[in-house]
Structure 1
Amino acid sequence: MNKRLIASTFLTSVIFIAPVCAEDVVVDMALLTTNGGQPIGEIIISDSDYGVVFTPKLSGLTAGQHGFHVHANGSCESSSKDGKTVLGGAAGGHYDPDNTAKHGYPWTKDNHKGDLPSLSVNADGTTNTPVLAPRLTLKDVQGKALMVHMGGDNHSDHPAPLGGGGARVACGVIQ
């Protein structure tokens, strides 16, 4: 290879690699287990003109839709409720600074601010499709937990509370 071709290839690869900006926050995510967490990747959180963008780079999840939320507390530790261990329970409930006590869509104004679009996980257990939370800023979510739930989310409290999603399966703390 000649020097121009090498330089051109290098510059092209540098230009097309999506850098993480200094303002972005990288959240390390781990599966929730009783004996610690198994790392499954990261989620990059960025402010945009349209709200906060959550870009997952995760693997090891079950295929299909998964509920995805910002939780009130910056912890992924387990807690105990009614004598049972709740994995990720120390994260508390969905981030709800306005005390609406209502689950809804990420773009509606009378519900938890921590309600995010569902994550869509591919057949191979990976997800990398960004989702947008138009009512949040990066400053809002710092110090909170980011949670992936088993099963989808209908963004309603009916017929089941909190979107009908299942157990907490993966978590990371937003620094």
Structure 2
Amino acid sequence: MHRLLPSLLLCAAAGAQAQTTVALDLVDATGATRAVGTVALAESPHGLVLTPALQGLPPGMHGFHVHDRGSCAPSAQGVPAGAAGGHYDPQGTGKHGTPWGDGHLGDLPALYVDGEGRAAMPVLAPRLKLADVAGRALMVHAGGDNHADHPAPLGGGAARIACGVIGSAR
């Protein structure tokens, strides 16, 4: 049995992936207004998996992004969650793209919200790890996301409607 112990510990360590949970709130020009649930973030061999447990959102497809700064406060101009800055773009690409291709690293697959206002479908961000996003903001935008800058910038997404600050992995 003592010869098996190192192998068992190695297998257990390989199976234990870093993870964290982010609480999201609806946001407006005055700040956070109401909790809408959580998004669990977990590392996988294929990238960062984001599993929402959200309710009370408008039905349909929504832009879903990691933003540069870990704040959901309004900007000085009253933009909801404007203090979060733009999409996370450490390489300075300056362009919106797909989660698996060129563009901001903060570009995530679109978030699907069902007719009852719930989002539960996981999405995969293959270019991200928890260490990349810790201390940044996770944002839900009104409207969909075409993962391009045409015909409208930033995937055509609209206002910031829900936000949460991503903590450290545990």
Question: If the length of structure 2 is used for normalisation, what is the TM-score?
Answer: 0.86
- Residue 126 (structure 2) pairs with residue 134 (structure 1): yes
2:22 paired with 1:30: no
1:174 to 145, 150, 166: 166
Deviation beyond 3 Å, 4+ runs, structure 1: none
Deviates more, 1:154-163 or 1:22-31: 22-31
Alignment of 1:3-22 (within 5 A): none
Secondary structure, counterpart of 2:76 in structure 1: strand
Aligned length: 151
User: TM-score normalized by structure 1?
Assistant: 0.84
SS class of match (1:86): coil
1:124 is aligned to 116
Determine whether 1:72 maps to 2:68: yes
Report which of the two structures shows the higher radius of gyration computed on alpha carbons: 1
Residue correspondence of structure 1 range 88-107 to structure 2 within 5 A: 88-107=81-100
5+ long unaligned stretches in structure 1: 1-20
- Which residue of 2 is the match for residue 113 of structure 1? 105
Task: Provide structure 2 residue ranges, at least 5 long, that are not aligned to the other structure.
Answer: 1-15
For residues 117 and 163 of structure 2, the distance between their equivalents in structure 1, rounded to whole angstroms, comes to: 16
Show the counterpart of 2:9: none
Which SS does the other structure have where 1:102 is aligned? Answer: coil
What percent of counterpart residues are identical?
56
> How much does 1:36 deviate?
3.2
Q: How far apart are 1:22 and its partner, in Å?
A: 7.6
